[in-house]
Chains A and B, each alone.
Chain A
Amino acid sequence: MRITVDFDLCQSHGLCTEAAPELFEIRDDGFLYVLNETPGNELAGKAEKAAIECPTGAITLSDD
């Protein structure tokens, strides 16, 4: 799957980093970084949880 974050929407709530620490990280600059944009299936559940919990709807998941 492919993870896309709309950085115009992202407000660094950090809920995604808790749902999927393997995929998302907020660094000391206060901004969100996507650690792996094309994770394998084993992380699909966590990526979905991150997308659901993101308060700004900034995370989109797509197949490819």
Chain B
Amino acid sequence: MTDARAPERVLIVGASLAGLRAAEALRKRGYAGTITLVGDEPHKPYDRPPLSKQVLSREWDAEKVFFRRQEGYESLGLTLMLGQRARSLDVGARTVTLEDPQAPVLEYDALLIATGARPRKLRGTAGLSGVFTLRTLDDALAIGAALAQHPRVAVIGAGFIGLEVAASCRKLGLQVTVVEALPAPLVAILGDAVGAAIARMHLDHGVTLRTGVTVSRIEGQGRVERVVLSDGSSFEADLAVVGIGVTPATAWLESSGVALADGVVCDHTCATNVPGVYALGDVARFHNTLFDEPMRVEHWSNAVEHAQLVAATLVGAPAPAAQPPYFWSDQHDVKLQFVGRVAAGDHAEVAQGTLEQRSYVVAYGRQGRLRGVLASNAPKQLIRGRKLLAERASFDAALSALREAQAVGPVVAPL
């Protein structure tokens, strides 16, 4: 329950997964002070993963993405300020100033920075209509409306979001070409062999892949007509979805004194270099004690874990143990799940199944230690992998444990 040290006024900037979950966790822990949740989007907090999946493929009504659809916000007892963007932070005065000159200056005892990340834009496409990025509900609705016109779709960047957009477009029967600078999708994250397997899976579902080339420019009279590639070739398209990564939303903190380094630098409790200021979710460069390294993780579970951690820290409760990063991605008939953290040069070995099938498990290691486990349509093995990582298993021990386990089960159909 509330500790004597608990701050009286908590201000949370960023009204999405991390920010909302932190507010919920504080109340759950009995925190009785004020909570103000500020977000620049016009919408109440919502969940992003379905945007590229169920929302784009029209399996879900967009309403379904909102959090707290049943409970509402009353019982949380917070001040929700939507459509308000934070402009600057004064750590001396402990205040946040909003862009809106009419809005009050917000005072805090504890500030939670949960501003997430924003998609990178492709240079030289500013004046062209039909070029989209996908981060927000409004983005998803705009892309969805454009997809209803049966466009030929170009996806720039074969990261998770790009590949999910491609899969959703195929579900709608649309023609899709994915352009990726590296030799295969996701190679930087999952290695060459798995990247090639993922490429085959997309080809099997009718996606056209152009790898090892970059986009030189997108051409058209006011709107997208053609994508020109670095090898001089080009293809026709009516719509382009750009998925070339995100940058942490820290512009408003630039001269605040809060330490920034591709994200807000924080320790294993989410505390920054400034007393009373914490960072969580996609924006945080957090020190993960399990891997003993700083990492900025752009995945769902990470934001939820940080929210729990910050709430515990603020009320003076012991922090929950560090978890290995986890993410999933649904593409066509495959659910990819990955737990851990791998880097270029890590060793990868297939532990179950084969990469020619849709069900397989791959173990990743470095210097004799297990660093990550990828499970494709094998949710049970993923759980085993997570346990092995939490136990800091050696690579060899993990590989044999994963091999001993039951053969991968039947395919679980993703939504």
List residues of A whose CB falls within 8 A of some B CB.
11-15, 17-18, 26-31, 48, 52-53, 55, 57
Contact of A18 (CB < 8 Å), options: B386, B406, B411: B386
Chain B residues, CB < 8 A from A15 = 301, 326
Contacts between the two chains (Cβ within 8 Å), count: 56
- How far is the CB of A62 from the nearest CB of chain B, in Å? 11
Are B328 and A13 interface neighbours, CB within 8 A?
Answer: yes
Known: A11-B335, A18-B387, A31-B412. A52 touches B380 (CB 8 A): no
Counting from the closest, the 9 A-B pairs by CB-CB distance are A12-B379, A30-B412, A30-B409, A14-B383, A28-B409, A26-B380, A28-B406, A14-B379, A12-B412
Are B300 and A52 interface neighbours, CB within 8 A?
Answer: no
Chain B residues, CB < 8 A from A48 = 28
Are B380 and A55 interface neighbours, CB within 8 A?
Answer: no
A27 to B406, CA, bound (A): 10
Chain A residues, CB < 8 A from B415 = 11
- How far is the CB of B230 from the nearest CB of chain A, in Å? 37
Are A55 and B377 interface neighbours, CB within 8 A?
Answer: no
> What is the interface residue range for chain B against chain A?
20 to 34
Contact of A17 (CB < 8 Å), options: B67, B378, B383, B410: B383
A6 to B25, CA, bound (A): 23
List residues of B whose CB falls within 8 A of some A CB.
21, 25, 28, 47, 49, 67, 300-301, 304-305, 308, 326, 328, 330, 335, 337, 377-380, 382-383, 386-387, 406, 409-412, 414-415
A53 to B414, CA, bound (A): 19
Are B383 and A52 interface neighbours, CB within 8 A?
Answer: no
Chain A residues, CB < 8 A from B330 = 11
A28 to B308, CA, bound (A): 31
Most buried by A among B304, B377, B412, B414: B412
Are A30 and B410 interface neighbours, CB within 8 A?
Answer: yes
A14 to B414, CA, bound (A): 14
